[in-house]
Structure formats: C-alpha cells, structure tokens
Structure 1
Amino acid sequence: MLEDNKYYGFTNDEIFGSIMQNKRFCKAIIQAALPDVKVVSVESIDAQKELGTKSDKISKSVRLDIAVKDKAGNLYDVEMQVNNNHDIGPRMRYYQSSMDRDTLDRGEPYTSLSRTYLIFLCAFDPFGKGKLRYSFHLYDDEDKSIQLKNNAENIIINSKGSGSEDVDLLNLQRLMNDDKIESKGIFKEIQNKIQEYNDDPKRRNLMRTAELRMKEETAVARKEGREEEQKNTVKSLTLTIKEMRPEINETDLFKQIKKNVGSDFSLSDSDIKAIIHQNMK
C-alpha cells in the first residue's frame, strides 16, 4: 500500500528525472560528483535515453537515466541506483560500452570517441569501504603512474559514505539521504523544488503511480529470474542424468527430475518436459 503522506525524495525515479532535466540543477549535481573537472555549460539532456538499438536489434539494449552532453562535446551518464543487485562492475562496463558504441559511427577513428563520465549515485556502499566517492581509471597493475588514457571515467557516489570536505559533494549526499540542507545555494533550491513536487497533488499521483509500476516490474523481473534459474536447473539435471544413464527415456527422466527439484519448484510440468525433450536430442 502506498502512503498518502510519504515524502518522495531525490532518489525517487520521477523526482530524479524531473530535477535532472533542469540544466542548472543537472550541471550542479554533475559538478558535485566531479569536483576535479570543470563542467562546461550543459547543452542537451536526454532522460531515459535508450542505447544499443541503432543497428543491432539482437543485443541487449540499455536505458540511461540521464544522458547529458556539454558544449565541449563531453558526455555524462548519471544513474540513480537504489537497490544493491551486487552487479555494479558488470553494469558499469555495459553502460560504458553502450555509450561508446552509440557515439562512434562506422569508419570513424577511435580517437573520435567523446570523453565520457559515467556517474552512479548509489543509496548503498557497493564495496563496503565507507568512502563517499569512488573514482575509477585504468592503470598498469605494477606501475600506477602508467595510465591507459581512454578518456573514460567511472564515478560512484555512495550516499552512506564519508571522508570528504567538499561542500557541494556533501550537499549532494544530503540530497540523496533526504537530509535537510541548511546553507543557501543551488542545492537548497533543488531541495525546495522537490518539496514543491511533493506538495503538488497531480505530481504526487504521478509518483504514486510510478512507484506502483516499479514494484510490479520488479516482481515480474524476479519471477522471470526464478523461471530462468529453474530452466537452467532442469537442463543441467537432464544432461547429468543422461550422462549417468544413457539408456533412460524421457518419461523416466521427467520423474527423476521431479523427484530432485522438490515441491517448491514453480516451473510447469509441460515446461520441464519441453526442456528435457530439447536436451535429449
């Protein structure tokens, strides 16, 4: 059940998308995540931009939360990560590769690749080290002075971390944690705007609807994940039992698998039989 008096903060999908489409707000948040980089004025902002579908309809596509381009041609992808799925490394790798493929056309030299900044705003610490900001580059394993300059930087902001005295970064952390921002400035403006959204009945209805939709999509994804895992289990059992008993038929194999998987197995009998049949060939 969704609460009518619930506060929807910066990490809420609808709030985050609305705030980040304001160029001033967007630039301030990116600059806070990149204190050592001079962020040039934002030229364009694409919310929920889908990559990976230009020419390849088979490969997995990726939908960027906020894709930003500045006037110098640098690209920024800002992602809000609320749940820890323990896949931060592979996820960032795939997002980075998708950004690169989308910006380089056939025949262009690799030197034409734009400088990219992939920023993950995490409501959890993916490494358990307590740092507020993690920054990643490619270095030689033995000599860190040798850097592979690929013009790509991966940044993770851990809202539960500490260890920084940068005012803007600390305000970004407060924003992510729904902590009150006392000092005047653009982050206070952002927090005031979020409160306006919460006070607007129409926007609250949109946020409640989006939250319900997200919960439904998560439930479906979990169900699909369980089904895929169970299909792999049936396939593995089929191949193992067949190797041990080459003479076994599909009916007896089905009975053996049903005996092994137990009563909490949700895959239907017809699906199990179809997997067995496919792997008995």
Structure 2
Amino acid sequence: MDVDNLLRGQSYAELKESYVIFICTQDPFGKGLPVYEFRNICTADDMLFLDDKSYKVFYNVGAYGKEDEPELSALLKYLCERQATSGFTRHIDELVEKAKRNEKFRSWYMSLNIREDDLRMAGEKIGFERGRRDGVAAGSYQAKRETAKLMQRESCSVDFIQRMTGLSEAEIKKL
C-alpha cells in the first residue's frame, strides 16, 4: 500500500494513514478481544515502530459485549446478531433493507457473486489440472523406475536402461 500512496521521490514522512480492516465472525486470535489493532513494529526492539501510518484492525463481532465504546459495541452486535440497537445501526439496517429492495443493486450484487464463483471455479479447475499433470508426471516417473528394476533383473546394462527409461545413472544405481 505504501507504493500506491507515495510518488517517486516523495518522502516517507508524507505517507497518509492507511487501514486494512477485517470484520471477523470468529475470534481470529482466540484472546476474546473485540478489537485487535496492529502496527508495524521492530521484532528486535518492540519500542521501535515503523512510522508508515499503516494499521491493521480486526473486529471480532462475537465479543461486542466486551467493547467499552457504545457505538462500536452496537455495530459489532448488529454485525453478529443483526439486531439494530442504536441510531447508527438502525440507519445501517434501513440502508440494508433498502438495498435488498433495489433491483439494480441486487442485480449488481448477484453479478459480483457470480464473478466470484466463476473465479473460484477457474481456480479450482487450474488446481485440478495442475494436480492431474503432477499426478501423471509422478506416475510416469514411477513407471520408469519399475521398468528399470525389471531391466536390472534381466541383467540389462545401465547404459541401455538409461536410454530406454530416461533415468540417470545415479537413479538406476539407487534402485
């Protein structure tokens, strides 16, 4: 993100604040906190911060009852249980309901889901093809080894086995 926020020759001090926000339905770190905030810190000296103004914030919606800030607690509760308990969350709920009734928005949202599904299926297909290709290669290699073993039992020369299987002399001698 730093690269996107600075132009060539700009000072590091000119960086603007940036936040990466994760809204989690399960506690990402298992500590029961409603909010986990991270900044870049030196691993050798935890008093030395990288002043890149970059923050990562994880909201654990299930821990809304432990949040002291009432509005944030209400928002986390709304995200967890879909219960609007404050003016802000009631407003969000109204906007959500309005968006649900908006056919243009629903169509756009569905197209995003379809695109996401298409990308996931394409990724799965690529993974399947890679796995298949790797499996075929491994099977082919194993077949060459088995053939070389049989040829050794028939007292074929290492040179002949190499030419017939493509295995190296070292591989053949290991068999």
Specify if TM > 0.5.
yes
Query: Does 1:198 pair with 2:100?
Result: yes
Q: CA deviation at 1:167?
A: 1.7
Aligned to 1:131: 33
Q: Sequence identity of aligned pairs in percent? A: 23
Task: Name which of 79, 89, 92 aligns with 1:187.
Answer: 89
Point out where structure 1 has 5 or more consecutive residues left out of the alignment: 1-98, 253-281
Aligned to 1:263: none
CA–CA separation in structure 1 for the residues paired with 2:8 and 2:101: 49
Deviations 1:98-145 (A, max 9, x none): x21112222223233222222222333333333321111233446533
Query: Does 1:105 pair with 2:21?
Result: no
Point out where structure 2 has 5 or more consecutive residues left out of the alignment: 149-160, 168-175
Query: Does 1:118 pair with 2:24?
Result: no
Q: CA deviation at 1:194?
A: 0.6
Task: Name which of 162, 165, 172 aligns with 2:68.
Answer: 165
Aligned to 2:165: 249
Q: CA deviation at 1:181?
A: 0.8
Query: Does 1:226 pair with 2:131?
Result: no
Aligned AA for 2:79? M
Task: Name which of 154, 160, 163 aligns with 2:56.
Answer: 154
| Distance 1:150-1:102 versus aligned 2 partners, 3 A rule | closer
Give the structure, 1 or 2, with the largest relative contact order (CA under 8 Å, sep 6 or more). 1
Three-state SS of the structure 2 residue aligned to 1:145 is coil
User: Which structure's residues are more often strand, by fraction?
Assistant: 1
| Distance 1:102-1:141 versus aligned 2 partners, 3 A rule | closer
TM-score w.r.t. the length of structure 2 is 0.64
Three-state SS of the structure 2 residue aligned to 1:153 is strand
Three-state SS of the structure 1 residue aligned to 2:62 is coil
Aligned to 1:213: 115
Q: CA deviation at 1:231?
A: 4.4
CA–CA separation in structure 1 for the residues paired with 2:130 and 2:27: 28
Please identify the structure whose Cα radius of gyration is greater.
2
Aligned AA for 1:183? S
Question: What is the number of residues matched between the two proteins?
Answer: 151
Aligned AA for 1:166? E
CA–CA separation in structure 2 for the residues paired with 1:149 and 1:232: 45
CA–CA separation in structure 2 for the residues paired with 1:112 and 1:135: 22
Superposition pairs of residues 28-177 of structure 1, within 5 angstroms: 99-141=1-43, 143-162=45-64, 163-177=66-80
TM-score w.r.t. the length of structure 1 is 0.43
Three-state SS of the structure 1 residue aligned to 2:76 is helix
